């Protein structure tokens, strides 16, 4: 039996597919099976690339869907076929650092209470490492109220935790399937990130950065947020309030003349959540504070993107009036 099962769904993406496969096969840790699920409709060129590598390396197992299933169902097929003690995720346009599996496996061996382990990663062609992901399981638990502090294709799962708790992807979702799984997993196991450099490289492609892709994920995320706030804080937010709270889609489709009003509303909504938790004590207050400050910083980041780092002074001042900025500065 292999120690690790690598699960990678493929739908076209031939431009980067060879690099993704080679970065997996060339790992310093070699005891793994590589399950590649080719979605129905995958281009002949992509399938040819996968077959070529499979002929050279018997660790590769190809599964070809005979109808269009989507990423959640494809991942579930791979995970159910997996034989390894651990299951490593991978995407066909990302790149593994050469020691990724070695380091992740060693970490999971040393900490048997960890069920899901992500990795600090670098965006390809970006000079900086992304450091906004946390390693503290308790902080990640709190962060999940708003967002997943993990990069999905960098994940390694403990197979026994997946099987014993039926932690497979929700096949009814057409996006944010990882976020929904983490929410369920968070109730039965610990989740963390390894903060070593050089273990994983994420590629932002035209597809995963497209407006349609983001809008689809945002809509699903808003539904997940609604359940989170209802379960954790007994707060039944409206659709408009959830859009504001999601941060990523806060300003989408809104006129810039409304931005000041939106920032004010977001400030009040976040205070409401924080104060409700002070009464219920469902989450660690310090961790929630960190999460809230991070989300408030995210607002400024979104405005920087919109205004190309030249935010109008009236908007920047409105942001600085926010509760979580004022308290953080003091």
Q: What is the pLDDT of residues 211-247, one digit of tens each?
A: 344 556 667 878 888 888 998 899 999 989 998 998 7
List the domain range (segments joined by +) for residue 263.
211-329
Q: What percent of the chain has pLDDT over 90?
A: 72
| Same domain, yes or no: 124 and 263 | no
Q: Are residue 111 and residue 255 in the same domain, yes or no?
A: no
Q: Is the pLDDT of residue 329 over 90?
A: no
pLDDT at 8 over 70: yes
Q: How many domains does the chain have?
A: 2
Q: Which residues contact 212 (CB under 8 A, 6 or more apart)?
A: none
Same domain, 195 and 273: no
Last residue of a domain, one of 171, 202, 233: 202
CA distances from 214 to 139, 174, 208, 211 (A): 25, 11, 8, 5
Same domain as 293, residue 226: yes
Q: Which of 142-151, 225-234, 246-255 has the lowest mean pLDDT?
A: 246-255
Kindly indicate the confidence band of residue 207, based on its pLDDT and cuts at 50, 70 and 90: low
pLDDT band at 96 (very low <50, low <70, confident <90, very high): very high
Residues 188 and 263 in one domain: no
Q: Is pLDDT at 125 greater than 90 in this prediction?
A: no
Write down which residue in 168, 202, 236 finishes a domain: 202
Asked if residue 158 and residue 20 are part of one domain, the reply reads yes
Point out the domain boundary residue: 182, 202, 222: 202
- Is residue 256 domain-shared with residue 165, that is, in the same domain? no
Q: Mean per-residue pLDDT for 184-204?
A: 93
Mark whether 179 and 296 lie in a shared domain. no
Is residue 168 located within the same domain as residue 38?
A: yes
CATH number of the domain enclosing 174: 3.90.550.10
**Residue 97 confidence (pLDDT) above 70:** yes
Q: Show the 3-state SS of the chain.
A: CCCEEEEEEECCCHHHHHHHHHHHHCCCCCCEEEEEEECCCCCHHHHHHHHHHHHHCCCEEEEECCCCCCHHHHHHHHHHHCCCCEEEECCCCCEECCCHHHHHHHHHHHCCCEEEEEECCEECCCCCECCCCCCCHHHHHHHCCCCCCCCHHHCEEEHHHHHHCCCCCCCCCCCCHHHHHHHHHCCCCEEEEECCCCCEEECCCCCCCCHHHHHHHHHHHHHHHHHHHHHHHCCCCCHHHHHHHCCCCCCCCCCHHHHHHHHHHHHHHHHHHHHHHHHHCCCCHHHHHHHHHHHHHHHHHHHHHHCCCCCCHHHHHHHHCCHHHHHHHC
- Tell me if the pTM is above 0.85: yes
Pick from 172, 190, 56, 51: nearest CA to 117: 190
Residue 73 and residue 189 in one domain: yes
Task: Say yes or no: 299 and 170 in one domain.
Answer: no
183, 34: one domain? yes
């Amino acid at each position: 039996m292999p120690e690790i099962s690598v699960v990678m769904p493929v739908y076209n993406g031939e431009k980067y597919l060879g690099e993704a496969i080679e970065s997996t096969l060339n790992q310093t840790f070699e005891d793994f099976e590589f399950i590649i699920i080719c979605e129905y409709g995958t281009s002949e060129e992509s399938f040819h690339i996968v077959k070529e590598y499979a002929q050279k390396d018997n660790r590769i197992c190809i599964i070809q869907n005979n109808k269009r299933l989507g990423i959640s169902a494809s991942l579930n097929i791979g995970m159910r076929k997996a034989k390894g003690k651990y299951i490593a995720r991978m995407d066909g346009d990302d790149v593994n650092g050469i020691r990724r599996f070695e380091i992740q496996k060693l970490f999971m061996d040393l900490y048997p209470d960890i069920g899901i382990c992500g990795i600090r990663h670098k965006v390809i062609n970006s000079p900086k490492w992304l450091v906004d992901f946390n390693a503290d399981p308790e902080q990640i638990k709190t962060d999940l109220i708003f967002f997943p502090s993990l990069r999905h294709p960098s994940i390694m799962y403990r197979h026994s935790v997946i099987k014993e708790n039926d932690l497979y992807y929700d096949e009814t979702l057409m996006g944010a399937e990882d976020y929904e799984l983490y929410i369920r997993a968070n109730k039965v196991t610990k989740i963390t990130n390894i903060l070593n450099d050089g273990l994983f490289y994420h590629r932002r492609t035209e597809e995963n950065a497209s407006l349609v892709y983001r809008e689809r994920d945002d809509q699903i995320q808003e539904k997940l947020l609604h359940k989170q706030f209802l379960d954790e804080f007994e707060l039944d937010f409206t659709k408009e309030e959830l859009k504001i709270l999601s941060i990523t889609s806060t300003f989408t489709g809104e006129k810039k003349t409304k931005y000041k009003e939106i920032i004010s509303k977001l400030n009040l909504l976040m205070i409401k959540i924080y104060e409700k938790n002070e009464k219920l004590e469902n989450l660690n207050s310090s961790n929630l504070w960190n999460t809230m400050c991070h989300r408030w910083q995210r607002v400024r980041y979104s405005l920087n993107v919109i205004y190309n780092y030249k935010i109008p002074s009236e908007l920047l001042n409105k942001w600085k009036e926010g509760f979580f900025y004022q308290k953080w500065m003091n």
